[in-house]
Amino acid sequence: MIRFSSIVRLNQPVRVSLQKMRCEPPLFAAWAELALYSYTFGLRVWYEGNSLVTHVVIVGAQWGDEGKAKITDMLAESADVVIRCQGGCNAGHTVSHQGNVFKFHLIPSGMLYPNKLCIIGPGTVINPHVLLQEIDTMQARGYSTANLRLSDRAHLTLPFHALLDKARENALAGKKIGTTGRGIAPTYMDKVGRNGIRIGDLYAPQSFLTERLTHTLEQNKAQLSALAVDIPTLSDLQAFCKEIAEQLKPYVCDTVALVHQAIKRDESLLFEGAQGTLLDVDYGTYPFVTSSNATAGGACTGSGVGPSQIDQVIGVMKAYTTRVGEGPFPTELHDHIGKHLLEVGQEFGTTTGRPRRCGWFDSVLARYSTQVNGLTGLAITKIDVMDDLDEIKLCVAYEHRETKERFHQFPSHITTLAELDPVYETFPGWKQPLQNIRRYEDLPTETRQYLKRLSELSEAPVQILSVGPERDQTIILEEPFQKTASLKKKEHSHGAQEPSLIS
């Protein structure tokens, strides 16, 4: 296997030679020869290798709901393994496939392909009833779930977690975060507080599980009581765990070992993120954020794959901006344009059905996403939603409402963000439908001008452009997954040579 990072290491002498040439001009010829040899050797190894395997991370680069599911579904065709890394059933991924619409909350989007290994990783939190319902729905519609695997390290959302989540949100009154009320935050709080129940605990000796459930219950009783939430009994929790353990058993295994076996087999990995960069618990608009790391780093911690294994990070962004829930939103529109984006873009939450707040594309936010994710490319979605607009605006900076100071870096604190107004550049609309266009050069000049400026300000190239909801309504400018033409796609069962399932 030859990977991109290997080529970079092979050509390290090239960079060294350039540094030496600047300080030691007489050695120019010798260093140039060495650099040329290194470059030639690297290319020879590259082309003579059996394959060029790529591991790609897909992240939401705005406030979530960017269309990650479609991009993941499309790229999954070239991947061998698709891994969901973080979050829980608060995520909602909508995929349109052959005229059918699928709404996933936990199952990876690659599940629509028959020969893909789909993994729900250690960084996720699992509502078992939601997962089992999704499995039943897939099977009822004729799709196999035989290649689905669930990490034994993932944490379990218990029944009282959702009740606690809703009660805490209601108690905030006018200061609500905008949570989905699915119990995600309480599950992660128990995880970080070392009070959580992991999927693997369901199959541990009964005494161990009873001890863990007792501890979890004791740690949550005070808060449940304070918020007037019914406190479950130990017997209730034991019965819940016994019921779901049997149903989940066919899918549970050590997914870390499974992923690294796939890497050794030279298989390509696709990491599917949930939510978005500005909802990341560390880098988002805190406290109006989710409870996990939705940035690219979360793909590593949530899967058990080290950062040196990652080749590309694709940031998915809408051609405009949306967000669900509370918190500052500099480019938000409250006029007829905002209504147009909402209605034509069908901007309603997959999980909650809530209408999304809509606004113009924010390049300050986008550039920040490029920075904290290390984006190597962009996938721009829903550009066709703006087909009928006379003019299109793009935020290029912020300006302080009182001091008139210009900001080109996304602020770290929401109080600052709330005091900033967007500074716009205006572009003419293209006033024609894009959904049937399949080549970048066939796009209207106005569309290409807008995308060129968007890419410049975001400091990342556009690799993928979605011009409609269907899989084939996509323009690929640069294929993230690359393999040599001679490489034949492996057709194999992922049940062989993988870690044992729970028995």
Which amino acids are annotated catalytic? 65, 93
Helix axes 159-171, 234-248, angle to 10 degrees: 120
Q: If you compute the radius of gyration of the chain from its CA atoms, what whole number of angstroms results?
A: 24
Burial of 22 (0-12, 13-18, 19+ CB in 10 A): exposed
Structure tokens at 91: 């995520």
What DSSP designation does 327 have?
A: S
* 191-208 b/e (C-beta count within 10 Å ≥ 16 → b): beeeebbbbbbbeeeeee
Where does 141-296 have alpha helices with state H? 159-171, 184-192, 206-226, 234-248, 255-264
Strand-pairing partners, residue 348, are 355
Residue 394 near residue 320 (C-beta atoms within 8 A): no
Quote the distance between the C-alpha of residue 433 and its chain's center. Answer: 29
**Minimal CA–CA distance to 112: which of 150, 147, 88?**
147
Report the run of H or E that residue 321 belongs to, with start and end. Answer: strand 321-323
**Minimal CA–CA distance to 390: which of 331, 340, 442?**
340
**Minimal CA–CA distance to 294: which of 331, 257, 323?**
323
- Contacts with 330 (C-beta within 8 Å, 6 or more apart), sequence order: 359, 362, 364, 395, 398, 417, 420, 421, 422
- Contacts with 23 (C-beta within 8 Å, 6 or more apart), sequence order: none
**Minimal CA–CA distance to 268: which of 84, 472, 480, 68?**
480
C-alpha to C-alpha distance for 178 and 234, rounded to whole angstroms: 31
* Pairing mode of beta strands 391-400, 420-428: antiparallel
